[in-house]
Amino acid sequence: MSDLKVNLTAPNGRKITLPTGLYINGEFVKATGGQTITSINPTDESEIATVQAASVEDVDKAVAAARAAFNGSEWRDLTNTDRGGLMYKLADLIEAEKETLATLETWDNGKPYQVSLNEDLAEVTGTLRYYAGWADKIHGSTIPTTGAKFAYTLKQPIGVCAQIIPWNYPLAMAAWKLGPALAAGCCVVLKPAEQTPLSILYFAQLIEKAGFPKGVINVVNGYGKEAGHALASHLDVDKIAFTGSTVTGKQIMRTAAVNMKNITLETGGKSPLLVFDDADFEQAAKWAHIGIMSNQGQICTATSRVLVQESIYDKFVEEFKKIVASTSIVGDPFKDDTFQGPQVTKAQYERVLGFVESGKSEGATLAHGGVPYTKVGEGKGYFIEPTVFTDVKSSMTIFREEVFGPFVVLVSFKDEAEAIKLANDTTYGLGSAVFSQNIERAHRVASKIEAGMVWINSSQDSDFRVPFGGVKNSGIGRELGEAGLHSYLQEKAVHVNMGTKL
């Protein structure tokens, strides 16, 4: 082990040399304040590695490097096509290293390895290639006015962007933000979540290999209260993009007002999934399971409130419990048959169990799970049995607050009007789903649900070509798709006088 590298052997036997420093201006460096972060394996609570944690001074250096790169000719004078070419090369390098990156993601986060490898890494490379294709298709427009004026617009990069990444999808969320920012011509300071820094540190090695100029992408591990706050309040940061809790999102929004930063916030959710009595019953139950139990329930868009028409409610509850019991196999995330690994940290584990007690104390019925799962790792690790509550009222805490775990409430409704009312009875508005074989009803209900996204007859099958984001307390702005690209561009109007004399 060198000062800024550590040799690791992962639980699946893979040998990994991991950089542990801050990646600033094209090199790995020590943190000036001497702080570190120790990553914990949520499967057995063992220490994986200790990495550097940025101070305010380190954030200043990273922002300065990004500003110098943004103003420098090496990045700014690249043709849009060549910029896209760098992004394609980065995606190819990630694909070549996908087994190592997936190993780090699973080891650090707890999600099943097959999900990290076959879903998350595929999304990372797909997203980067999608935006690489956009790089040379960014253009303004001409605007007819009068014969005395020629008017046109330029679309230009916003500038230096701070991007704060959550722990539930470290690499995928980094790609969601890096892709459009790089395609637009911005420069970036990326802060991984303090709980899951490892895969993004390994990814940072690939930036130089891809040929990006120094300072275009910087990675500063660090704690939110110090490094995160320093980025949100930095006067030389032009935009901040954040994915995480609503509480933190509001704090960032307040802090970013110091210089009226452009902001994109994707925050919490308590998404409803509506099942009408004419739905494909078995498909609705299977999708409802995917909608809440995948990724250990640690998904902002998780459809954690399942609303079922009363005529099929009892039947649906039994079918759903059967699917949960047979499909949500809890276990070692490196085993192929594992569906659900541990929660990411002890704090998240205790949070979920706290909501179990809340549900029971308020009179809901614990229909399945809701207890620690101790059959893995001799009782160590942050494993919880998937949890299902029935007999839930809309006034209960478990109906109203985001749990962020494998935890779902099932509620009955009488008719379409009540279904919509229950769906919208929340301060959040991120995702939602509607199950009905009546196409008129499905579209009608989708239009009335207060959410940034609605799935019809599916759940959680997002696509990087389609805008992603919420309303109400679920965020501001959109990521992914063409809309995500526009978040990193500003439009300049140019007025040309065609001869008018004063």
Give the tens place of pLDDT for each residue, 22-60: 999 999 999 999 999 999 999 999 999 999 999 999 999
Give the tens place of pLDDT for each residue, 320-357: 999 999 999 999 999 999 999 999 999 999 999 999 99
Tokens 């229909």 belong to residue: 367
Residue 1, pLDDT above cutoff 50: no
**CA–CA separation, 117 vs 114, rounded Å?**
5
- Other CB atoms within a 10 A radius of the CB of residue 185 amount to 22
SS3 for 467?
Answer: coil
Task: Provide the whole-model pTM.
Answer: 0.97
265: β partners: 242, 476
Give the tens place of pLDDT for each residue, 220-235: 999 999 999 999 999 9
187 neighbors 215 (Cβ within 8 angstroms): yes
291 neighbors 338 (Cβ within 8 angstroms): no
Give the tens place of pLDDT for each residue, 179-203: 999 999 999 999 999 999 999 999 9
Q: What is the percent of the chain where pLDDT is above 90?
A: 98
**CA–CA separation, 346 vs 463, rounded Å?**
31
Q: Which residues contact 22 (CB under 8 A, 6 or more apart)?
A: 28, 29, 30, 31, 52, 54, 58, 62, 218, 219, 220, 221
Give the tens place of pLDDT for each residue, 378-410: 779 999 999 999 999 999 999 999 999 999 999
Q: Which residues contact 326 (CB under 8 A, 6 or more apart)?
A: none
**CA–CA separation, 33 vs 55, rounded Å?**
6
Query: Which one of 105, 266, 385, 402 is the catalytic residue?
Result: 266
**What CATH topology corresponds to 5-267?**
Aldehyde Dehydrogenase; Chain A, domain 1 (3.40.605)
- Mean pLDDT, the chain, whole residue set: 97
Tokens 């005395």 belong to residue: 148
**CA–CA separation, 161 vs 66, rounded Å?**
8
Q: Which residues contact 322 (CB under 8 A, 6 or more apart)?
A: none
- pLDDT on residue 2: 60
18: β partners: 6
Tokens 């940025």 belong to residue: 54
Q: What is the mean pLDDT of residues 259-263?
A: 97
Q: What is the mean pLDDT of residues 299-310?
A: 98
Q: What is the percent of the chain where pLDDT is above 70?
A: 99
Q: Which two tokens stand for residue 64?
A: 């300065």
Residue 457, pLDDT above cutoff 50: yes
Q: What is the mean pLDDT of residues 284-305?
A: 98
116 neighbors 106 (Cβ within 8 angstroms): yes
User: What phi and psi values does residue 115 have, to the nearest 5 degrees?
Assistant: -70, -45
- pLDDT on residue 379: 78
**CA–CA separation, 435 vs 289, rounded Å?**
13
**CA–CA separation, 116 vs 359, rounded Å?**
32
Kindly state which CATH superfamily the domain 272-463 is placed in.
Aldehyde Dehydrogenase; Chain A, domain 2 (3.40.309.10)
**CA–CA separation, 464 vs 462, rounded Å?**
7
Q: What is the mean pLDDT of residues 461-483?
A: 97
What confidence category does residue 374 fall into, taking pLDDT thresholds of 50, 70 and 90? confident
Give the tens place of pLDDT for each residue, 35-45: 999 999 999 99
- pLDDT on residue 376: 74
**CA–CA separation, 261 vs 232, rounded Å?**
8
Annotation marks residue 266 as catalytic: yes
Where in 227-314 does DSSP place strands (E)?
Answer: 239-243, 262-266, 272-275, 305-309
Q: What is the mean pLDDT of residues 70-92?
A: 97
Q: What is the mean pLDDT of residues 289-318?
A: 98
Closest by Cα among 392, 278, 283, 293 to 339: 293
Q: What is the mean pLDDT of residues 94-117?
A: 98
**CA–CA separation, 424 vs 2, rounded Å?**
54
- pLDDT on residue 377: 66
Residue type, 396: M
Closest by Cα among 371, 416, 418 to 394: 418
- Other CB atoms within a 10 A radius of the CB of residue 465 amount to 12
- pLDDT on residue 3: 83
Enumerate the domain spans of the chain.
Answer: 5-267, 272-463
